[in-house]
Structure 1
Amino acid sequence: MKVLVLNSGSSSIKFQLFEGTGWQVIASGAVSRIGEAEGEVEYTWQVPDGPMQTGRQGIAIPSHQDGIDHIIAGLRAAGVLADLAELAAIGHRVVHGGERFHRPTLVDDAVVEAIREMSALAPLHNPANLDGILVARRLFPQVPSVAVFDTAFHQTMPRTAYRYAIPEYLYTRYRVRRYGFHGTSHHYVGERAAALLGLAFDQCNLITLHLGNGASATAIGAGRSIDTSMGMTPLEGLVMGTRCGDIDPAILFYLADQLGLNEPALDDLLNRQSGLLGLCGVNDMREIQRRAADGDDAAELAIGITAQRIKKYIGAYYAELGRVDAIVFTGGIGENDANIRRRSCAGLENLGIRLDEGANQSSARGERTISAADSRVRVLVIPTNEELAIARQALAAVAAAGGDS
């Protein structure tokens, strides 16, 4: 049995096809520039015992339905999906599930309407995610679709973590609260960390750091999310590629008054012009590290602020948890940037956090320990795999429902 994972954006669809027993990726790719004059389809696939193959095609793709048609046609042509009956499930990434969805959910008409309702909380993401679901259900009604929500893992947070100190009617009527994101990633690397520690997940206290162009920290207590850095939207928390992270909200009033900025301009400023890009002119941490090594003061400042913010969250979540078994770095920066890892942990020795600098600087890839032998808290690097997590959760949801769609 196979599981297809779809991540539908406003003008793109990324996909992976898993073989459901060994969870091998047998095909992956993306359809991009949907709705433009010339779109693009990219594939990577591997037939059993055959070499890895790639392909790219430039072609007009007017809609998400056309995009998914191209994906299925390509999978069939590659010989990795001969019949749709081979599909046990289609797993869909959905950014926002609000308070309603705590776990992966088999999609029916009521779930579709609930995801549509949540679009007010994630207007850039949920409508695009829903497009992929609607097309898949229309084209393949016999294949169960499962929605896997970025927010679901964080629904175990206590009220003291998710409520803001604002009038209650804003929460009860307008749903203003902390939701958190990257939940699928934090859950996945948390479970992998427990396996590396030789512990049951529900016995683990962890601080997981998903560091990429988007970045978030999560405190996991006894296998449950108890706090996370992103808030009602992904803007809050750590410094990110183009997002500012934590900021005094009164700055918005000041900028509106001084510069005459309206709401769309402020949104664009904080979400797309700030973060690393605002600090030093680029948002690729690899380029920022190169510039800092060449003496660029703005790049050095961007790195310093990023690491300092991460360190603050490590300390705060350590205080919340009381005991920490491991700190986990993941995401493009977390997995590959030894300097950010070193600077984020520097000065935390009194908390029992000590890196092995040789292990931290090693060019090794994959899951690994980078803490010193005498470090009370293990420091781990674990590559995230959200698509695999979605595939597994989708198949589990179908199995739990007895295969009914």
Structure 2
Amino acid sequence: MNILVLNAGSSSLKYQLIEMPSQVVQCVGLVERIGMEDAIFTHEKDNEKHSEVTPILNHEIGLKKITKTLLDPKIGVINSVDEIKAIGHRVVHGGSKFSHTVVVTKEVKDKIRDLFDLAPLHNPANLTGIEIAETIFTSAKQIAIFDTAFHQTMPKEAYQYAIPSTYLDDYNIRAYGFHGTSHKYVSEKAIETLNKDTSKIITIHLGNGCSMAAVKNGKCIETSMGFSPTNGLVMGTRAGDIDQSVIFFLMKKLNKSADEVNDLLQKESGMKGLTGFSDLREIEEKAGNGNEDCKNALKLAAYRIKKFIGAYAAALNGLDAIAFTAGIGENSSLMRHLSCCNLEFLGIELNNSKNEIRSKDIREIQSLNSKVKVLVIPTNEELEIAKQTCELLN
């Protein structure tokens, strides 16, 4: 069956059309800068890319543009919208309401709307994508896949905060975790590589947003992001873990508003705050040329990863493998090296030559002496969404 995977952001629409269960990707595309006169539309089929700059003032126009392209006699891949049997929608926050993939109903949409406060930048756009798709692909099943669902297996001692219990009971304030689709996909690939009945794995998703998860026998038991995607590791523009007293200090001592502090911690911190740059490739290049701020930022980010590796090895009571994924995790040999060095006591030791190899395939980069497998696994969130959609319908 043809499954269209849609990821609706606040100003973007990503899509892939995937034939399942063969897992053949028929086309991929992206609408960027939605709401602008100079929006950018790209569509790729059979390694041939079509790009154009065009006004796309809202998500409805964007999805209609995608649909028209899918039907185009030259660069399209279908003859009728009825050929698409299901649409898998990425929804960032499912709260504690959704632990599995679901068919979209009015009740599901109402619950996604109820969670707007927990993900104000993402859930409204995700719901908009669903509602527009319903009007265009009228015969297709609409399926919602939640970023938080994979982490719903965490035990209460992992997700509850040490504040009065009424805040959990009445307001659902707890750790949820994110990047769940990626962590699920990567952990399953790691389990296949281990080829054993039981497994203790740490997945390390490093991109502009960064998170880690401890996965025991295929179930998440701990993750670094919490109530929102802002805590845990050092990220491109997000601070990650920080003493909450710093927030009150900034508000009282420096007379900053809550919104100003929020913007500071989410948009002006992390690697950007430490170096002035948010692109890791540029930071690595400048560090190599002697920039002390950039060298320090790389060490700081890797140190945070190492702390979580140690903590998660304790939570798992052992460790079979760690798996690096996403843009930085897959492509930065330096970050992998810095994150794994001096962890021999945990049984982690890299083979430096293997670590330098660039490939789109799953690969092992540990030394012969390493007791723990160190894996690089390219993530594929769109394929995972298609798989979960297919499994639900079957």
Give CA-to-partner distance per residue, 1:263-321, whole Å, 9 cap, x none.
11000000000000000110111111111111110001100000100000000000010
Counterpart residue identity of residue 235, structure 2: M
3-state SS of 2:188 partner: helix
Check conservation: 1:229, 1:238, Cα contact below 8 A.
yes
Distance 1:98 1:21 in 2: 29
Are 1:294 and 2:289 matched, yes or no? yes
Are 1:104 and 2:104 matched, yes or no? no
Q: Which runs of 5+ in 2 are unaligned?
A: none
Counterpart residue identity of residue 110, structure 2: E
Distance 1:327 1:157 in 2: 19
Counterpart residue identity of residue 162, structure 1: Y
Partner of 2:17: 17
3-state SS of 1:17 partner: strand
Are 1:173 and 2:170 matched, yes or no? yes
Are 1:145 and 2:142 matched, yes or no? yes
Partner of 1:228: 223
3-state SS of 1:60 partner: strand
Out of 109, 126, 131, the position equivalent to 1:129 is: 126
Distance 2:33 2:324 in 1: 32
3-state SS of 1:359 partner: helix
Check conservation: 1:88, 1:395, Cα contact below 8 A.
no
Out of 239, 243, 246, the position equivalent to 1:248 is: 243
Give CA-to-partner distance per residue, 1:67-98, whole Å, 9 cap, x none.
11111110110241112222121000000000
Distance 1:336 1:58 in 2: 29
Out of 369, 374, 394, the position equivalent to 2:364 is: 369
Distance 1:42 1:335 in 2: 24
Aligned residues: 392
3-state SS of 2:56 partner: coil
Q: CA deviation at 1:352?
A: 0.9
Which piece of structure 1 moves more, 337-346 or 173-182? 337-346
Out of 154, 178, 194, the position equivalent to 2:191 is: 194
Which piece of structure 1 moves more, 297-306 or 85-94? 85-94
Q: CA deviation at 1:142?
A: 1.3
Partner of 1:49: none
Q: CA deviation at 1:396?
A: 1.3
Distance 2:78 2:19 in 1: 10
Partner of 1:278: 273
Partner of 2:78: 81
Give CA-to-partner distance per residue, 1:186-233, whole Å, 9 cap, x none.
000000011111135xx2210000011100010001110000000100
Say if 1:301 and 1:362 are closer, same or farther in 2 by CA, change over 3 A: same
Check conservation: 1:206, 1:328, Cα contact below 8 A.
yes
Q: CA deviation at 1:39?
A: 2.4
Counterpart residue identity of residue 303, structure 1: L
Distance 1:112 1:71 in 2: 23
Check conservation: 2:85, 2:139, Cα contact below 8 A.
no
3-state SS of 2:36 partner: coil
Distance 2:265 2:322 in 1: 29
Alignment RMSD (CA, Å): 1.1
Distance 2:85 2:36 in 1: 32
3-state SS of 1:101 partner: coil
Partner of 1:59: 54
Distance 2:329 2:38 in 1: 35
Partner of 1:403: none
Distance 1:93 1:282 in 2: 29
Partner of 1:8: 8
Counterpart residue identity of residue 28, structure 1: V
Out of 385, 390, 394, the position equivalent to 2:389 is: 394
Which piece of structure 1 moves more, 76-85 or 312-321? 76-85
- For residues 202-241 of structure 1, the aligned pairs below 5 Å read 203-241=198-236
Are 1:324 and 2:319 matched, yes or no? yes
TM-score (norm 1): 0.95
Partner of 1:91: 88
Partner of 2:153: 156
3-state SS of 2:21 partner: coil
- For residues 328-367 of structure 1, the aligned pairs below 5 Å read 328-367=323-362
Distance 1:353 1:336 in 2: 19
Check conservation: 2:202, 2:212, Cα contact below 8 A.
yes
Distance 1:222 1:363 in 2: 29
Give CA-to-partner distance per residue, 1:94-120, whole Å, 9 cap, x none.
000000101111101100000000111
